[in-house]
Copies of this chain bind each other. A is one copy, B any other.
Amino acid sequence: MASGQGRVLELAVLGSLHETPLHGYELRKRLNALLGMFRAFSYGSLYPCLRSLLARGLIAEEQPASTTIVGGRSKIVYKLTAEGKERLQDLLTQAGPSAWEDESFGVHFAFFRHTEAEVRLRILEGRRSRLEERLDAVRTALARTRERLDSYTLELQRHGLESVEREVRWLNELIATERRASEEPGRDTTSTDE
């Protein structure tokens, strides 16, 4: 168990490499463009993660192949191995708290294309109850202390509450869409695999 390595980053890397082989620098750029609004991975976590994945045989270095030896600029291109693809499918199938917490939800969502419809639905719903829990907690706390709060604190609470409420509405729409798509006779959005 010495690796651990934070399932989120692992999923993000595996998922990205599933599309096309990449080297570290480019991988980071893609990831941060993909998730730009939610999080930003740093080299300090990316490189250790790549090393761990390499050691576990989930990714492999791609030979420069006679064609690409132009400059000779050192560049290590990684690609997914068969085991890596299995592991990716595994991670994509997991619909637990680790899929709908703040830091991980975005990453899971970003790869929904490769996720089964049923799992998508469970993650969406899990995310929604997570947010509703938080909403309840804050609303309760707020009700007990409303008088004592100054206008800035109040405004912060109001803004936070509103943002989360909006995300819940967003999730509601997504869930409805998913339900409609899965019940619809003709079309199947799942597109079995790649």
A121-168: which residues lie under 8 A (CB-CB) from chain B? 134, 137-138, 141-142, 145, 150-153, 155-157, 159-161, 163-164, 166-167
A–B pairs, 22, beta carbons within 8 Å: A33-B141, A33-B142, A33-B145, A34-B153, A36-B141, A36-B157, A37-B138, A37-B157, A37-B161, A37-B163, A37-B164, A106-B160, A109-B152, A110-B152, A110-B153, A110-B156, A111-B152, A113-B150, A113-B153, A159-B170, A163-B163, A166-B166
CB of A34 to closest CB in B, whole Å = 7
Dominant SS among interface residues on chain A: helix
Instruction: From known contacts A113-B152, A159-B170, infer whether A134 and B33 are also in contact, taking CB-CB under 8 Å.
Output: no
